[in-house]
Amino acid sequence: MVSKIRVLALAIVQDGDRLFLGKGFDPIAQTTFYRVLGGGVEFGETSLDALKREFQEEIQAELTNIEYVACLESIFTLKEKPKHEVIQLYRCDFADRKFYQLDEVEYCEGKRSKKAYWIERQRFESGELRLVPDGFLQYC
């Protein structure tokens, strides 16, 4: 098995105390988690361009007020496989205000259908829900 480090561009989109997050599930560990949206940076592409492209491809959304936040490194296990990600993290807003009115947004990640939700920050602070990578809430 060849392991690779994956470079991602992810975005914190907030509306007051709500965060816009995708929901994930590890069927082996039987755990649900949430994470900000974005995706992989392709060779020759800047992380900013990747971020804009991913939001356009996945939910047909244009981003505005984009601000670089930090570079994070995440090493974890998913489906019993080791993963390693380097994350270029941004903060931004949706250009179209309609996204702030939706309870959920369905999108495709590759061939998988997923959903993103507006979730109150307090649900992660209380431990009710899990936000990944661990420690991520400090950037929100």
Question: How many domains does the chain contain in total?
Answer: 1
Contact 38, 11 (CB under 8 A): yes
Q: What is the pLDDT of residues 67-102, one digit of tens each?
A: 999 999 999 988 888 989 999 999 999 999 999 999
Q: How far is CA 120 from the centre of its chain?
A: 15
CA distance 101 to 56: 18
Is 83 among the domain residues? yes
pLDDT classification of 113: cutoffs 50, 70, 90: confident
CA distance 33 to 26: 8
Is 137 among the domain residues? no
Q: What is the pTM of this model?
A: 0.92
Is 138 among the domain residues? no
Is 140 among the domain residues? no
CATH (domain of 10) = 3.90.79.10
Q: Which helix (H) or strand (E) holds 90?
A: strand 81-94
Residue 86 belongs to what domain range? 6-131
